[in-house]
C-alpha cells in the first residue's frame, strides 16, 4: 500500500523492510523544507545528476518521467542509477528552483501541475528578488534597462540629461522658435509630422494674434501661424510679403495669418512662391493698397485663400 502521495507503507510481516523505510526517509527528507529543485524545465531525466537531486518534470516528458508532467522527481543514487522516486505535486507545495534563484508554489495540483513564481503580494513579483534584475534603491523616474555587460541583467537607471534626444534633429518633428508653454501636436497634413504649437494657435478660437512687425521685405515662417503682419507707415517705399512654398515651409491646413498695411503712401505686394493664392476667382500674387487689410487662410496643402479690402 502507499500513502495518497505515493510513499510506501509498511504492512505486517513486511519483507525487506529496509527498502521501504529507506524510500520513505528519502521522500520525507527531500520535502521536509522547501524542495531544493535543480531545474524545472527538463522533459527527460538528465544524463548526470547527484544522488537525491530533485527536478520538476516539464512539458511532455519522456523516458523514466513519461506521463508525469509537473510532478516532482527525486534521483535515487548518483546519476539516478537506482531509478527515480516520483511524487504528485499538491497545491500549496513550495520549491526553491536553484538555477533561477526563485521560489515557486504549486498553484494547481491536477495533472499537469502548475507552478508559479511566489510573491508575498498576490499578483505581483518583487523584482529585486529575481536573479537577473538589480533595482537596488529605485527612485522616481528610473527605468529598467537590459545590460549585457557583466553581470548581465535588468538594471535600474536614471536617464541622463546628456543622453536626451534632440527633437529638432528628428526627421518627423518640426521645431521652430520654441517658447515656454509650447507643446508638440501631430499634424496629418502633408508633410505628416509633429509640430510645436503655442496655446494661442492651438486652442479653438485664437486667444490673441501676436504681431509680426518688419521694416523690409519679409518671407513668412512657420512660427507666424496665427499672427498678424503689420506693415507700418515708416516702411517707405512699399515692400513685398512672400508666402513660401509648402515644400519649404509646411504651414498646417487651417493656418490663418492677418495682414495690415498701416502705410498711408505705399502699397504692399503679397507674393506666393510656387503654390496657389486665390482671391475670388483670380489667382497669383496681389497688391494690398495703402491702409488696406487682408486675411490669409490655408485651405489645402498648396492652396491659400485671400480676403480683405484694398486688394488688386
- For residue 200, is it left (φ>0), alpha (ψ between -120 and 50) or beta? alpha
CA 102 to CA 94: how far, in whole Å? Answer: 11
In a domain, 236, yes or no: yes
More confident residue, 116 or 111: 116
Mean pLDDT of 42-57: 94
pLDDT at 168 over 50: yes
Mean pLDDT of 242-257: 93
Mean pLDDT of 136-145: 79
In a domain, 283, yes or no: yes
pLDDT at 54 over 70: yes
Mean pLDDT of 216-229: 89
Contact 72, 89 (CB under 8 A): yes
Cβ of 56: how many Cβ atoms within 10 Å?
23
Shared-domain flag, residues 267 and 218:
yes
Shared-domain flag, residues 109 and 135:
no
Mean pLDDT of 277-306: 94
CATH number at residue 292: 2.60.120.640
In a domain, 185, yes or no: no
Classify residue 121 as exposed, middle or buried by CB count within 10 Å of its CB (0-12, 13-18, 19+). Answer: exposed
In a domain, 168, yes or no: no
Number of domains composing the chain:
3
pLDDT of residue 205: 47
State how far the alpha carbon of 168 is from the alpha carbons of 172, 193, 195, in Å: 9, 12, 10
Mean pLDDT of 31-42: 81
Contact 243, 272 (CB under 8 A): yes
Of 117, 141, 175, which marks where a domain is finished?
117
Instruction: Output Rg (C-alpha) for the chain, integer angstroms.
Output: 39
Shared-domain flag, residues 133 and 223:
no
CA 102 to CA 37: how far, in whole Å? Answer: 10
Classify residue 270 as exposed, middle or buried by CB count within 10 Å of its CB (0-12, 13-18, 19+). Answer: buried
Shared-domain flag, residues 61 and 136:
no
Mean pLDDT of 149-171: 74
In a domain, 103, yes or no: yes
Per-residue DSSP letters for the chain? -B-TTS-B---TT-SSHHHHHHHHHHHHHHTSSSEEEEEEEESS--SS--TT-EEEE-SS--GGGTT-TT-EEEE-SGGGTT-EEEE---TT-EEEETTTTEEEEEEE-SSSPEEEE--SSTT---GGGSTTEE-SS--TT-EEEEE-SSSPEEEEEPPPGGG---GGGSTTEE--S--TT-EEEEE-SSSPEEEEE-HHHHSSS-S---EEE-SS-EE--GGGTT-EEEE-TT--S--EEEE--TTTS-PPTT-EEEEEE--SS--EEEEESSSEEEETTEES-EEEEEEEEEEEEEEETTEEEEEEEEE-
Shared-domain flag, residues 242 and 285:
yes
| β-bridge partners, 27 | none
Shared-domain flag, residues 141 and 70:
no
Write down the pTM of the prediction.
0.39
Mean pLDDT of 47-76: 93
In a domain, 184, yes or no: no
Can you read off the three cell numbers belonging to residue 51? 544522488
Cβ of 59: how many Cβ atoms within 10 Å?
13
Can you read off the three cell numbers belonging to residue 19? 527498502
Shared-domain flag, residues 110 and 133:
no
**Residue span of the structural domain in which 152 resides:** 127-157
Of 63, 92, 117, which marks where a domain is finished?
117
Residue 14 pLDDT class (50, 70, 90 cuts): confident
In a domain, 254, yes or no: yes
In a domain, 174, yes or no: no
Of 67, 92, 117, which marks where a domain is finished?
117
Mean pLDDT of 139-156: 82
Shared-domain flag, residues 209 and 303:
yes
Amino acid at each position: 500500500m502507499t500513502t495518497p502521495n505515493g510513499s510506501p507503507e509498511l504492512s505486517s510481516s513486511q519483507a525487506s523492510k529496509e527498502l521501504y523505510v529507506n524510500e520513505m526517509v528519502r521522500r520525507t527528507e527531500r520535502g521536509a523544507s522547501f524542495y531544493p529543485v535543480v531545474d524545472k524545465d527538463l522533459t527527460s531525466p538528465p544524463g548526470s545528476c547527484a544522488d537525491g537531486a530533485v527536478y520538476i518534470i516539464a512539458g511532455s516528458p519522456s523516458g523514466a518521467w513519461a506521463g508525469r508532467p509537473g510532478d516532482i522527481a527525486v534521483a535515487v543514487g548518483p546519476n539516478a542509477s537506482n531509478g527515480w522516486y516520483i511524487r504528485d505535486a499538491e497545491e500549496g507545495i513550495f520549491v526553491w528552483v536553484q538555477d533561477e534563484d526563485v521560489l515557486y508554489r504549486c498553484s494547481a495540483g491536477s495533472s499537469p501541475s502548475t507552478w508559479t513564481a511566489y510573491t508575498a503580494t498576490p499578483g505581483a513579483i518583487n523584482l529585486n528578488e529575481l536573479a537577473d534584475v538589480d533595482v537596488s534603491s529605485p527612485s522616481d523616474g528610473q527605468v529598467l534597462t537590459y545590460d549585457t555587460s557583466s553581470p548581465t541583467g535588468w538594471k535600474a537607471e536614471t536617464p541622463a540629461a546628456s543622453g536626451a534626444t534632440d527633437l529638432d534633429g528628428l526627421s518627423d518633428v518640426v521645431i521652430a522658435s520654441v517658447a515656454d508653454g509650447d507643446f508638440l501636436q501631430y499634424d496629418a497634413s502633408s508633410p505628416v509630422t509633429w509640430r510645436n504649437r503655442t496655446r494661442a494657435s492651438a486652442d479653438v478660437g485664437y486667444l490673441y494674434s501676436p504681431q509680426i512687425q518688419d521694416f523690409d521685405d519679409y518671407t513668412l515662417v512657420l512660427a507666424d501661424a496665427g499672427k498678424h503682419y503689420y506693415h507700418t507707415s515708416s516702411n517707405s517705399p512699399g515692400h513685398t510679403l512672400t508666402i513660401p512654398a509648402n515644400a519649404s515651409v509646411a504651414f498646417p491646413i487651417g493656418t490663418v495669418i492677418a495682414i495690415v498695411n498701416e502705410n498711408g503712401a505705399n502699397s504692399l505686394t503679397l507674393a506666393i512662391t510656387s503654390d496657389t493664392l486665390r482671391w475670388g476667382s483670380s489667382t497669383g500674387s496681389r497688391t494690398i493698397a495703402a491702409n488696406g487689410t487682408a486675411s490669409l487662410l490655408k485651405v489645402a496643402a498648396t492652396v491659400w485663400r485671400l480676403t480683405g479690402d484694398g486688394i488688386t
